[in-house]
Every structure is written in C-alpha cells, then in structure tokens.
Amino acid sequence: MDRFLDGLNAVNRVMFTVSAFLLAASVFVSFFNAVVRKFFAGIGGFTWAEEFSAYCCVLMLFIGTAYLELTNQHLRIGVIQFLVKNEKAFKIVDHATRILRGVLTVVLLGVVLRYGFVVLQHMYATNMLTYAMGLPKLYFFMAMLVGFAMTIVIWIVMLVFFKGKEVERWSLSR
C-alpha cells in the first residue's frame, strides 16, 4: 500500500511540476509577443502565441487540479464557517461536506471522463486542428482527461484510505 501511495504522490508531483512549467511557458510567450508588438509594430505579434498561452493556462488548470484537491489548497466558498459557530460541530459538518464534495467530484468527473473519451475519438477521427498553431487538438484534450482521471484517483484514495480527511501537504512522501 505504501508503494502505491508513494507512486501516487510521485505522479502528483510530476503533474504539479508540469502545471508550473505550463504557467511559465504561458508567461514567457505572452511577454515575448507583447515585446514584439511594442517594438516591431510592422509584425503585429504572433497569433499562435495567444493561442499557445490560452492552451497553457487551461492545461495548467486541469492538470494541477489533482494536486490542489490532494493538498486542499484550491479555492472554495466557505459558507459553512459562517453558519456553524460551534467549533466541534463545524469540524463534523466540514468533514461531511468534504466527503460529499469528494463523492460528487468522482461521479461528475467520471461522467465527464466517459464522454470525454467519445469526444477524443471524434477528434482523432476528424483530425481536428488548433486554429493558429495547426496542432491536433487531440493532444490538448488528452492532457485534460489525464488531469480529470488523476483527480478521480486522488479523491478515491482520500475517501478510502484517509476517510475524507484533509491530507497534509506532501504527507504521502516517506
């Protein structure tokens, strides 16, 4: 079991690193494009740079979701903390809503993943390309599905092995 959790943590770290790389690539390409537009007005920038930056940001979001879910560092609306004043009751309600969120995430992403494969097959069959870069959209979409699948695995592990409790940052590493 420890080997499985160590492997899961290693994959999660790789996905987090890829997300960080995608953010850096997006910033670099956007900066480069802005400099070209400013100092070389005749060129007018590169259309592919905007498309590339947009894809990097979207992929960063979907690939990094599993890491954020595991470490409980994602954005959320904390309405319950204002409604429940008792600290002991808050912990119980917070834990229950975390389990509910995990179950709903697994179910909904499972549906998205299932139909995502249908869309992926369609993209492969029709050879859909990005508009400016001319790359197959299949590659970008596959990365999103991998991110969704990893988020499902993370939530199943948290629900089964950690009983829905919050996992400390990098606590899976030994």
Q: Quick: pLDDT tens for 75-121.
A: 776 777 678 888 898 888 888 888 998 999 999 999 999 999 999 99
Rounded Cα distance between 129 and 121, Å, is 14
Predicted model pTM: 0.81
Q: Quick: pLDDT tens for 37-50.
A: 888 877 767 888 99
As given in the structure block, the two tokens for residue 108 are: 């909904």
Q: State the burial class of residue 30 (Cβ atoms within 10 Å of its Cβ: 0-12, 13-18, 19+).
A: middle
Rounded Cα distance between 74 and 65, Å, is 8
